[in-house]
Homo-oligomer: A and B are copies of this chain.
């Protein structure tokens, strides 16, 4: 695919400066050649972009002066514009309508002819798929699941019974949606499993990463809001509610019945204890253990600072006697006064 800069701005807005050259793809500044378009969003990369052989550059009005004499598309938010151009060059593949000969579809399931059903897919009794869904090789759609239009299950996804997906939900390989929550009652000398009878409800345009797990509710549902983006290997326990458009990086663990607000940013490997609430637009640093509700939006953190092992070992000893140190200081202050 070859597009001129003006063909791009006709679709996405922005303003062409310099020659209206043709480009065939995006590329990082360091690797781009004359047929590529690249972008300058973070000023840290200014000189790398200045030295780039790219045929054209996406840049903000503010930084356009740094690229004097180059062919530009000037846009309000170059990073967002870059994303939009990438989507022009790489539109999501449409469903290749049809059912593979090896797929196993229960006669009571509803699968529109516009859907792509891959090899060895299994679709359970009473499941209902919307138009244009892509269910790829080896995925299992449990009984009575409902999928909106244009959902994509990559290979080897598992949906337990009774999951409800909105439209355009994408789930990556190895993800497991709707497994039993970890509900146990202690019966004197052993654990009694509490049947997990709720479902999982996932909103429109949500995306779920590879090998992520989202458990069904104990009673009532686990709810993933509209436009929520979840990375790989995230664990979301029973009865959590994740607010609309919240983004959750990889390796995060969220205990049962946590309510996270809308537009939150959750850093990688953050962990949440159960039964807490996080305000809208809260940002949590990577590796943070969230031990209590957060009522005020802001940026929160709790990770232990990195040191050489030798320095760390020296300090860690004293961390174990911090309260002792505190008392000592108090005592010293008293004597001085």
CB < 8 Å: which of B87, B192, B291 contacts A80?
Answer: B192
A201 within 8 A of B: no
B27, A210: Cβ atoms closer than 8 Å: no
A233 near B213 with CB under 8 A, answer yes
Contacts of A291 in B (CB 8 A): 303, 305-306
Complex alpha-carbon distance, A269 and B254, angstroms = 10
| A34 located at the interface, meaning its Cβ lies under 8 Å from any Cβ of chain B in the complex | no
Stretch at the interface among A1-9, A66-74, A325-333: A325-333
Contact at A179–B154, with CB atoms within 8 Å?
yes
Tell me which residues across on chain B come within 8 A of A336, comparing CB atoms: 332, 335-336
Binding site for B on A (CB under 8 A): 26-28, 31, 77, 79-80, 82-84, 86-87, 89-90, 92, 100, 102, 104, 118-120, 122, 136-138, 140, 142, 154-156, 158, 160, 172-174, 176, 179-180, 182-187, 189-195, 197, 205, 207, 209-211, 213, 215, 219-220, 227, 229, 231-233, 235, 237, 245, 247, 249-251, 253, 255, 268-269, 271, 273, 283, 285-292, 298-323, 325-326, 328-329, 332-333, 335-336
Partner of A255, one of B210, B219, B249: B249
* Chain B residues with CB below 8 A from A292, complex form: 306
Please indicate the chain B residues that have their CB under 8 angstroms from the CB of A268 in the complex: 253, 255, 271, 273
10 extra A-B contacts, CB within 8 A, seeds A140-B155, A305-B317, A315-B321: A87-B193, A122-B155, A231-B237, A291-B303, A300-B309, A301-B308, A301-B312, A305-B316, A315-B320, A329-B332
Copy tally for this chain in the complex stands at: 3
CB-defined contacts of A249 to chain B, threshold 8 Å: 182, 255
Q: For the complex, what is the distance from the CA of A140 to the CA of B155, rounded to whole Å?
A: 7
Kindly identify which residue among B183, B195, B215, B299 contacts A232, using a CB–CB cutoff of 8 Å: B215
Partner of A174, one of B174, B251, B286: B174
> Would A86 and B318 count as touching, CB distance under 8 A?
no
- A156 → B minimal CB distance (Å): 5
Known: A179-B173, A290-B306. A137 touches B137 (CB 8 A): no
CB-CB under 8 A from A194, the residues of chain B are: 82-83, 86-87
| In contact, B332 and A319 (Cβ under 8 angstroms) | no
A119 near B104 with CB under 8 A, answer yes
- Contact partner of A286 (CB less than 8 A), chosen from B213, B273, B286, B320, is B273
- Which residues of B have CB within 8 Å of A320? 305, 307, 311, 315
A44, closest chain B residue (CB): B275
Nearest-neighbour CB distance to chain B for A20, whole angstroms, equals: 23
A158 touches B156 (CB 8 A): yes
**Chain B residues with Cβ under 8 A from A136's Cβ?**
140
B326 touches A318 (CB 8 A): yes
A315 touches B304 (CB 8 A): no
- On whether the beta carbons of B319 and A305 are closer than 8 Å, the reply is yes
CB < 8 Å neighbour of A333 from B27, B271, B328: B328
CB within 8 A of A83: which of B140, B192, B255? B192
Is there contact, CB below 8 Å, between A193 and B179? no
